[in-house]
A = this chain, B = another copy of it.
Amino acid sequence: MSRSLELPQRLKIVNIGLPAFAEHLALVGADVVHVDWKPPAGGDPTVLRQLDRLSPLAKDVAKANQEAFTKLVEARPFLVDVVSARDALPDLPPRTVLHAGPPVRWEDMAGPMKGAVTGALLLEGWAATPEEAERLASSGEINFEPCHHWSVVGPMAGVVCPSMAVVVVENRADGNRAYSPLNEGLGKVLRFGAYDAAVLERLRWINDMAAPILREAVRAYGDVDLDLIAGQALQMGDECHNRNKAASALFLREMAPRVVRLNHDSDTLFKVCRYLAENEHFYLSLSMASCKSALDAASGVRLSSLVTVMARNGTEFGIQVSGLGREWMTAAALPVDGLYFPGFGAADASLDLGDSAITETAGLGGFAMACAPAMVKFVGGTPADAQRHTQRMYGITVGESPKHLIPGLDFRGTPTGIDFLKVLEADTLPIINTGIAHRDPGVGQIGAGIVNAPRECFLKALGSFVERYAEGGCRG
């Protein structure tokens, strides 16, 4: 007969890792303490091996990241102009249509992107009907390129064609420029894949009436300091991605005195003021272009593992990393976990879509959710969740923004500058707030929610980084 194991009458238990064990023990009355711990890199031996190969470079990488981080947080974005994409980008090849995310062929595009492309070809007059537009799009005669290849960032489908008006944002610290189309408002809009007559008419009005007035106002009465607006808006409940209510009101506060002085008939000025006043997402374009101008300045720093782009085309999610230049690391786009408008559900949803994750890449959006407790009514969750999301992002970022402060966290700076090595080491994926488009072309927005960047993108970045920089790597 074997001796039975002797245990003290009452166990005191420390549980490490999976919380489920601790929860069960607590349920039966055990005296248990849970330690929230994950093995480095989720215990993945391949990743650990690759990270090991980079460890001799740790100091150099940290230094490079500090350099890239400084470029990112010291950027000084100003709205300096509002022009057509054609005028902003004179080198754009003929018949070019830009789109969100990494490169994608027409046949692989998601429904809402196809819808937006259809609308763009109609808007340009390159096609007369939706059917003609689809034939043209699939003919190979249209040059599709990612917005990001032209320092443009487009929300959702992110389709930008030559006649579309864009905001021109100059990073005064480095002199580089970034662009984003003027926001159309909510509902049935091109960026969510809608392209009916009303959508096109609104775009024409924006291009032909709103843009020239805004251009004239900026040119005549001065550039607009966008960091000043974003810094204030973050103290006013915005996270400058899905909530831009304060920033849009502050932008109107800047523009109204400029616009009212212009020598135009009062009906035109009224309509432009109303366009700014009625659109609580107007500032999104300016937020995105600001972030892009800052991240472009932080790009191309040798040995920096700072993420400079996160973007989705509805089919794939792509990232770029400062020390890897303009190389795309892509993975399949993920479904969004969110709240749907009445009459819609997850089955209707397109996958994660748009260049607007540039805001998270710059430390705003999901990373700044602790600034925006009221936003949970839009994307789901509670104010405590919003704070937790921000808190977790400190574990994967290079630093804290010196200018984007969170009142609810005692004015701590937002977690800023994603380090893809930390993403893998901590096994914590960047969080993104986002709108949800209907999966079919022509419908529009059906909700909003939260999504992670796919781990696979960061794994690919690790492979490229090791190959380029590690001892024995091909391009070291």
Residues of A within 8 A of B (CB): 232, 235-237, 245-246, 249-250, 252-254, 256-257, 259-263, 266-267, 269-270, 273-274, 276-277, 373-374, 382-384, 407-408, 410-411
Distance between Cα atoms of A54 and B382 in the complex (Å): 43
User: Is A373 within 8 A of B262, CB to CB?
Assistant: no
> Contacts A252-B252, A256-B276, A373-B407 given; 13 further ones with Cβ under 8 A?
A236-B236, A246-B246, A252-B256, A253-B253, A253-B277, A256-B256, A257-B270, A259-B260, A261-B267, A261-B270, A263-B266, A374-B411, A383-B411
CB distance from A448 to the nearest CB of B (A): 17
User: Which of B237, B266, B273, B277 has a CB less than 8 Å from the CB of A407?
Assistant: B237
User: Is B273 within 8 A of A257, CB to CB?
Assistant: yes
User: Is B237 within 8 A of A256, CB to CB?
Assistant: no
Judged by DSSP, the binding face of A is helix
The 5 closest A-B pairs by CB, nearest first: A373-B407, A249-B249, A256-B256, A257-B273, A236-B236
CB distance from A51 to the nearest CB of B (A): 38
Distance between Cα atoms of A410 and B373 in the complex (Å): 8
Which residue of B is nearest A386, CB measured?
B407
Distance between Cα atoms of A270 and B257 in the complex (Å): 5
Q: Given A256-B277, A408-B408, is A235 in contact with B374 using a C-beta cutoff of 8 Å?
A: yes
List, sorted by A's number, 30 A–B pairs whose CB atoms are closer than 8 Å.
A232-B245, A235-B237, A235-B374, A236-B236, A246-B246, A246-B249, A249-B249, A249-B252, A249-B253, A252-B253, A253-B253, A254-B277, A256-B259, A256-B260, A256-B276, A256-B277, A257-B270, A257-B273, A260-B260, A260-B269, A260-B270, A260-B273, A261-B266, A261-B269, A261-B270, A263-B266, A374-B407, A382-B410, A383-B410, A384-B410
Distance between Cα atoms of A473 and B374 in the complex (Å): 50
User: Which of B237, B257, B262, B373 has a CB less than 8 Å from the CB of A277?
Assistant: B257
Q: Given A235-B374, A407-B373, is A266 in contact with B256 using a C-beta cutoff of 8 Å?
A: no
User: Is B249 within 8 A of A260, CB to CB?
Assistant: no
Distance between Cα atoms of A92 and B253 in the complex (Å): 37
Distance between Cα atoms of A108 and B232 in the complex (Å): 42
**Chain B residues whose CB sits within 8 angstroms of the CB of A250 once the complex forms:** 249
Which residue of B is nearest A221, CB measured?
B270
CB distance from A215 to the nearest CB of B (A): 17
**Chain B residues whose CB sits within 8 angstroms of the CB of A408 once the complex forms:** 373, 383, 408
**Chain B residues whose CB sits within 8 angstroms of the CB of A254 once the complex forms:** 277
**Chain B residues whose CB sits within 8 angstroms of the CB of A259 once the complex forms:** 256, 260
Distance between Cα atoms of A383 and B267 in the complex (Å): 45
Which residue of B is nearest A252, CB measured?
B253
**Chain B residues whose CB sits within 8 angstroms of the CB of A257 once the complex forms:** 270, 273-274, 277
CB distance from A446 to the nearest CB of B (A): 24
**Chain B residues whose CB sits within 8 angstroms of the CB of A236 once the complex forms:** 236-237, 245-246
User: Which of B253, B262, B277, B374 has a CB less than 8 Å from the CB of A266?
Assistant: B262
Distance between Cα atoms of A260 and B265 in the complex (Å): 10
Distance between Cα atoms of A407 and B249 in the complex (Å): 19
User: Is B256 within 8 A of A273, CB to CB?
Assistant: yes
Distance between Cα atoms of A350 and B256 in the complex (Å): 38
**Chain B residues whose CB sits within 8 angstroms of the CB of A373 once the complex forms:** 407-408
**Chain B residues whose CB sits within 8 angstroms of the CB of A274 once the complex forms:** 257
CB distance from A363 to the nearest CB of B (A): 18
Q: Given A249-B252, A410-B383, is A266 in contact with B270 using a C-beta cutoff of 8 Å?
A: no
**Chain B residues whose CB sits within 8 angstroms of the CB of A267 once the complex forms:** 261
Residue among A256, A263, A277, A373 with the highest chain B CB neighbour number at 10 A = A256
**Chain B residues whose CB sits within 8 angstroms of the CB of A256 once the complex forms:** 252, 256, 259-260, 273, 276-277
Distance between Cα atoms of A276 and B277 in the complex (Å): 15
CB distance from A278 to the nearest CB of B (A): 8
CB distance from A468 to the nearest CB of B (A): 44
Distance between Cα atoms of A266 and B264 in the complex (Å): 10
CB distance from A84 to the nearest CB of B (A): 25
**Chain B residues whose CB sits within 8 angstroms of the CB of A262 once the complex forms:** 266
Distance between Cα atoms of A232 and B236 in the complex (Å): 10
Distance between Cα atoms of A373 and B406 in the complex (Å): 9
**Chain B residues whose CB sits within 8 angstroms of the CB of A382 once the complex forms:** 410
CB distance from A78 to the nearest CB of B (A): 18
CB distance from A37 to the nearest CB of B (A): 29
